[in-house]
Amino acid sequence: MKKFKKLFIGFAALATLALILVPTMQAFTKSGDPLQKRAEMQELLDTMRADIEANGYTFTIGPNPAMQYSIDQLCTLNPDILPIENYVTTPTEMAMTEALPSAYTGYYTPIKNQASCGSCWAFGTCAQTETAILKNTGQTVDLSEQWLVSCNTSGWGCNGGWFAFDYHVNPGAALESCFPYTALDSPCISGCSFPYSINGWSYVGASNSVPAVDSIKTAIYTYGAVAAAVYVSSYFQGYTSGVFNSCKKRARSVNHAIQLVGWDDAKGAWLLKNSWGTGWGENGFMWIAYNCDLVGYAACYAIY
């Protein structure tokens, strides 16, 4: 009986350990063996490389820090969540598309890393508010994504959310220095001040579709960048360079918040700023073909 009890306790401990480890292992394997994980990653990359070569795609893939996580951990933007939208404004008159250059890079702040928390929605929000402040004042600020993750009253967190600009109108945006990023659903720190507030925000088009390429360009040219959504696949996750053009046919949903900060018509692509650190892509950025994988879905901007 004692032997059975010890075995039961041992199995229970192993089960608990497995539950703790699963979130970081599910990207490639159920095994905790790092050699097995590496082998499975290499197998996946080899399979994708063969497909890239067969289809003549114009980008490369390789091991990167984001691949230690599953797509479900990283990409939790949820278009089914009803945004608050108390402070959505009517789109303002923007520059004429005829005046737009064939290539342009707008305004953006340094690359950040959301790590294993599915807080892309908070990073997309902060990135766009930081852009609005930078374009209008010349000042680079570091806003707190963690405040949005931990202190919002919408039930959003590491398991998902939507663009949270309403919180940057009221009460405003807290600084990273007050509530540093933890990559967890940490308890709210209530003592932060809100030194920056936006006047409102707007979608470029509709909240549930991809605006025309020229409309997104005009918004980037006018407001410095746009926050937007995209559908992320394993190919996107493994991206290292080039123009990403492995586009899912008839993609119906988005799962990740990013920022579009520029374009190049010669490449036929947007310059996409991600929140997976500088070890992903081209120092944290990606060139992605226009209209690929619903990129630009729900494009929006902050008004400062």
Predicted local confidence at residue 264, as pLDDT: 98
Chain segment 201-242, per-residue pLDDT in tens: 999 999 999 999 999 999 999 999 999 999 999 999 999 999
What pLDDT was estimated at residue 95? 55
Domain residue spans of the chain: 2-45, 60-303
pLDDT tens digits for range 282-297: 999 999 999 999 999 9
* pLDDT greater than 50 at residue 22: no
Q: In this predicted structure, what is the pLDDT of residue 11?
A: 38
pLDDT, tens digit, 9 for 90 and up, residues 23-82:
333 444 445 677 887 888 899 999 999 999 999 999 999 999 999 999 999 999 999 886
Catalytic machinery residues: 120, 256, 274
Q: What is the pLDDT of residue 15?
A: 40
Average pLDDT, the chain: 88
Mind spelling out the 3-state secondary structure of the chain?
A: CHHHHHHHHHHHHHHHHHHHHHHHHCCCCCCCCHHHHHHHHHHHHHHHHHHHHHHCCEEEECCCHHHHCCHHHHCCECCCCCCCCCCECCCCCCCCHHHCCCEEECCCCCCCECCCCCCHHHHHHHHHHHHHHHHHHCCCCCECHHHHHHHCCCCCECCEECCCHHHHHCCCECECCCCCCCCCCCCCCCCCCCCECCCEEEECCCCCCCCCHHHHHHHHHHHCCEEEEECCCHHHHCEEEEEECCCCCCCCCCCEEEEEEEEECCCCEEEEECCECCCCCECCEEEEECCCCCCCEEEEEEEC
Confidence of residue 252 (pLDDT cuts 50, 70, 90): confident
Q: Is it the case that residue 120 has pLDDT exceeding 50?
A: yes
Check residue 249 and give its pLDDT: 82
Instruction: Out of 3.90.70.10, 3.40.50.1110, 1.10.286.10, 1.10.3720.10, select the CATH number for domain 60-303.
Output: 3.90.70.10
